[in-house]
Structure 1
Amino acid sequence: MSRDFRPAPEHRRIVFLTGAGLSARTGLGQFRGPGGLWRLEPELEAAMHGSALPASLPLLWRVWGRMARIAAAHGPTPGHLAIARLGAPVITQNIDGLHQAAGSADVSELHGSALRAVCLDGCCDWSIPLSPGEGDRAEDHGAPAQCPVCGAPTRPDVVLFDEQLPGAAIDRSLRLAREAELFVVVGTSGAVLPAARLAPLAREAGARTVLIDIDPPPAAGLRGVFDEVIRADCHDVLPSWERARRGVADNPFLHPF
């Protein structure tokens, strides 16, 4: 375990893979674990299967609308802002749009976005941005209930169980992993495919691989995947990296709360 690692000057191409742990400070719950949404709202897991559509749409609008509203109200965390200021491409499992809100321009969303509505008909490419509100109807979140192009129901643009991940995001993520000189995993165990393939792929292609986690998995499970494991809060580590990259002295009194 190392707390002292920082990107070196030769690490010109840094790529981040992020998960729910990066956004937890906003109040967004994680799905798994004792306090996860699966435990708190048991009906949600059943509704999160693509096969439950369209009957599950009211619950999906309510849950994803609430999560998007919490994220928008809180705004990006210090970790999101540091990643954006580093100018690094991002691969994310999150659906909250906080990387874009922080200013990151290159974001591959593996699991879609709760800030977009799409048509339930997979052959229709209609979509619009959402204005997250409260309620279980599309109209409560700024979207029409029926697609204006084909008339099918609309839905949040999040990937459910039984559904395929967006091909363009997967292809971009694999390319970024192969091109990285430093591949950094933040706020996720990276145990779920296809994200689980990315750090090993980056390492095979010659990148240095780093995991930042306040409570990382047992070391035995990390061997062969990560060159560095930093047991610390990513909201401390990433701003420190960004300040060092800019040559700014690390003054704890200036850290955001």
Structure 2
Amino acid sequence: MSTAAPFVPGPEHREVVFLTGSGLSARTGLGTFRGPEGLWALEPETEQAMHASLLPTSLPQLWAVWGRMASIALAHGPTPGHRAIARLGAPVITQNVDGLHQAAGSEVVAELHGSALHAVCLGRRCDWRAVLAPGEGSSPEGHGVPGHCPRCGEPTRPDVVLFDEQLPSAELELAMRLAQRADLFVVVGTSGVVFPAAQLAPLAREHGATTVLVDIAPPHGSSELFDHVLAEDAHEVLPAWERRVHRVGGTSFLDPFGA
């Protein structure tokens, strides 16, 4: 880890790529998943419902959980960190399913774990997919989609990746390409322990990228895995980077929540 002045992107960084996790969205009230205060610890029945082997029995719980999260995301909107990333024009690889990067204006977003703002058919051979209107309750109708696929009649489900399911191949391939072409790879709001996302920063580093972790409480051993570790709030760091890159002075115009 560098002991010099805090890292900031420079003109030599022409291919900046971000990898983001639930920590970036926690400010909206969505919270994180792991740790003693995470969703899995506080709501163990929810963690149990996230196993693909429990489908279709677990569908009511899935609709209730992900519908609620989608509603929170839409109500609160992007954070200053999301907005700063979008203003930097950087591609994003995200483990989040809340759609906040797109809402902030990011154009290239690889959603490794799917999207809570969409519904899909439970049938493996059916490609029906629809945008949700997040609401309340444990039925798909409460979130603006039919309970059964209009094409094949199978039940509908939130388009999120459950335990024991494979990540969407197109999104994973995009993430790998982005990591390999990056000259600056920035990890924000994720523990970095979940594969295959955990291999992306090392992959970027192998291809010559400078790697940076922005985390208010960096995990032990982070300094061995990244070129720079910033133990700071991403909602302050990233808007500051954006102001520096675009030479904007004063307080951040990206922060709709205020100080």
TM-score, normalisation: structure 1: 0.96
Match of 2:167 in 1: 165
Shift of 1:253: 7.4
Deviation per CA, 1:73-117, whole angstroms, max 9, x where unpaired?
A: 000000000000001000000000000000001000000000000
Provide, for residues 184-231 of structure 1, a one-character-per-residue CA deviation record: whole Å limited to 9, x for no partner. Answer: 00001211100111000000000000000000012x3541x2100001
Of 182, 186, 189, the match for 2:188: 186
Which residue of 2 is the match for residue 4 of structure 1? Answer: 6
- Map 1:92-241 → 2, pairs under 5 A: 92-218=94-220, 220-223=221-224, 225-241=225-241
Q: Which runs of 5+ in 1 are unaligned?
A: none
Q: CA deviation at 1:39?
A: 2.0
The code of the aligned residue for 1:246 comes to H
**Partner Cα separation in structure 2 for residue 221 and residue 98 of structure 1:** 26
1:166, distance to aligned residue in structure 2 (A)? 0.3
Q: Distance in 1 between matches of 2:209 and 2:252?
A: 34
- Find runs of 4+ consecutive structure 1 residues off by over 6 angstroms: none
Hey, what's the Cα distance between the residues in 2 that align with 1:253 and 1:54? 46
Identify which range, 71-80 or 40-49, moves more after superposition.
Answer: 40-49
Q: Which amino acid aligns with 1:91?
A: I
Q: For 2:210 and 2:89, how far apart are their aligned partners in 1? A: 18
The correspondence of residues 20-99 of structure 1 with structure 2, limited to 5 A, is 20-99=22-101
Q: CA deviation at 1:123?
A: 1.0
Aligned-residue offset at 1:66: 0.3
| CA distance 1:255–1:101, change in 2 (3 Å) | closer
SS of corresponding position for 2:34: coil
Secondary structure at 1:169 match in 2: helix
2:222–2:229 CA contact under 8 A, matched in 1: no
Separation in 2, partners of 1:151, 1:141:
18
Cα distance in 1 between the residues matched to 2:38 and 2:246 = 37
C-alpha displacement of 1:255: 6.7
SS in structure 1 at match of 2:33: coil
Residues paired across the two proteins, number: 254
Please give the alpha-carbon distance, in whole angstroms, between the structure 2 residues aligned to 1:107 and 1:233. Answer: 22
**Structure 1 residue 141 displacement after superposition:** 0.3
